[in-house]
Amino acid sequence: MSTYKVNKTYQEINAKIRSGKVVVVTAEEIIGIVKKEGPVEAARKVDVVTTGTFAPMCSSGAFINFGHSTPTIKASKVWLNNVPAYGGLAAVDCYIGATETCEDDPLNKVWPGEFNYGGGHVIQDLVAGKKVHLKATAYGTSCYPSRIIEKKITLKELPSATLCNPRNGYQNYNCAVNLTRKTIYTYMGALKPKAGNANYCSSGELSPLFNDPYYKTIGLGTRIFLGGAEGYVTWQGTQHNPSVPRTEKGIPMKPAGTLWVMGDLKKMSHKWLVGMSIQGYGISLAVGLGVPIPILNEEMASYTAISDDEIFTQIVDYGNDYPNGISNSLGTVSYAELKSGSIELDGKNVLTVPLSSMVKAREIAEILKDWIQKGEFFLGEPQFTLPV
């Protein structure tokens, strides 16, 4: 254990938060500190590095318990503002998924569809305090005789509402281009023909899992910024795939780790859970997520000092390869290149388009920093860390 020159525990850092002596910097700020003073000195000085990301995260949704009414009902089909929620749970529980579309949505019949309202918007409306129309139908039982209910619900009045996102915070993601001759509309945005633009979706050096690439401090019980409130990492996310090729510094070169996160929806804000209408694709929810990385030793200081020019991803053709399940990389690019505004592909300059908001990512890292400095947010020590 004591192969490190600096050794801190979660308890020690939390004691510093309590006494107001904690030193917190963002994942952008730590880069310069480590460069200037080295990881050991940086680890002595800095206790926590905050990260952030704000982007559409489709695997999101909320468990909602809407309370009993008389006569009682065992809801089997549920709609919120005409968006179906899954009702195959106990009597008045349901799960509203972010990508569910409104019942009357023309979808992609007029291509590319607009997808103006869906699950992501229901969640945003709820956290914004708006009234949401609930309809539920049932087949009726002796204990739950009612066949149908309709009522207005507000988040405040609900017995409980829990955001439960089975896959958020992807550690790295493809850079998407389209090599066909027609514009396509994907979950990676609009892609113009013949590689007219290259879309990417990560906050790079600010992104949570790039700052702890082997999940040494992240696991069940890690307390995080989620949707504007406190939330938790509760499991590895679905499709968590740590065994992909990595750089010397351990940074995955393609999509790898993911997070399963949860939190009390009632405490969250519509500023950090934003319904997204993705043209030609569907509905999603942009989720504000930030993970504090405890600088337990100089190794963690080095990890968090990772910068955009050391983080790489693959350029993937979403016109032909991706939809046909062909795994093929057209090239490797760094986030520094992607953020510069153009990349080179086959000798041609291609305009890059971000889909993940750096402005919001930075804001999240700053808010988290502020919470910790003010002694309002303590580190959660994981019961176990995510599989590597």
Partner 1 sequence: MYSKILILRFPNTGVSKPTVCYLSKDYDLTFTILKATILPRKEGILVIEVTGAKKDFKRGMAFLRDQGIQVQNASQEVNRDTEKCVHCGACTAVCPTGALSVKRSDLSIDFNIQKCSVCELCVTACPTRAMKIQPTSEAFF
Q: How far is the CB of 138 from partner 1 (least distance, A)?
A: 35
Phi, psi of 209 (to 5 degrees): -75, -10
Q: How far is the CB of 342 from partner 1 (least distance, A)?
A: 11
**Stretch binding partner 1 (CB under 8 A), from 71-79, 166-174, 260-268, 336-344:** 336-344
Rounded Cα distance, 78 and 229, in Å: 27
* Candidate list 2, 3, 248, 359; residue touching partner 1; CB under 8 A: 359
* Candidate list 33, 55, 102, 175; residue touching partner 1; CB under 8 A: 55
**Stretch binding partner 1 (CB under 8 A), from 52-60, 161-169, 297-305, 325-333:** 52-60
- Whole-Å CA distances, 213 to 40, 195, 220: 19, 30, 16
Nearer Cβ to partner 1, position 42 or 286?
A: 286
Nearest one of 127, 146, 176 to 287, comparing CA atoms: 127
Q: Are 146 and 124 in contact (CB under 8 A)?
A: no
Rounded Cα distance, 253 and 247, in Å: 7
Q: Does 274 bind partner 1 (CB under 8 A)?
A: yes
Nearer Cβ to partner 1, position 173 or 378?
A: 173
First to last CA, the chain: 19
Structure-block tokens of residue 319: 């016109």
Site for partner 1 in 89-148 (CB under 8 A): 112, 114, 116
175 has catalytic annotation: no
The alpha carbon of residue 370 and the mean position of all alpha carbons in its chain are separated, in whole angstroms, by 21
Token pair 């439960």 in the structure block, residue = 164
Q: Tell me if residue 33 falls in helix, strand or coil.
A: helix
Catalytic residue among 94, 102, 143, 201: 143
Nearer Cβ to partner 1, position 78 or 175?
A: 175
Q: Does 354 bind partner 1 (CB under 8 A)?
A: yes
Q: Does 24 bind partner 1 (CB under 8 A)?
A: no
Rounded Cα distance, 79 and 134, in Å: 6
Peptide bond into 112 cis (omega under 30): yes
CB within 8 Å of 347: residues ≥ 6 apart: none
Nearer Cβ to partner 1, position 184 or 293?
A: 184
**Stretch binding partner 1 (CB under 8 A), from 151-159, 208-216, 225-233, 271-279:** 271-279
Contact letters (x/-) for partner 1, 278-307, by CB under 8 A? xx----x-x---------------------
**Stretch binding partner 1 (CB under 8 A), from 39-47, 75-83, 125-133, 359-367:** 359-367
**Run of H or E including 200:** strand 197-200
Just list the catalytic residues: 143
> Which positions touch partner 1 (CB under 8 A)?
54-56, 112, 114, 116, 189-192, 197, 199, 274-279, 284, 286, 339-341, 351, 353-360, 362
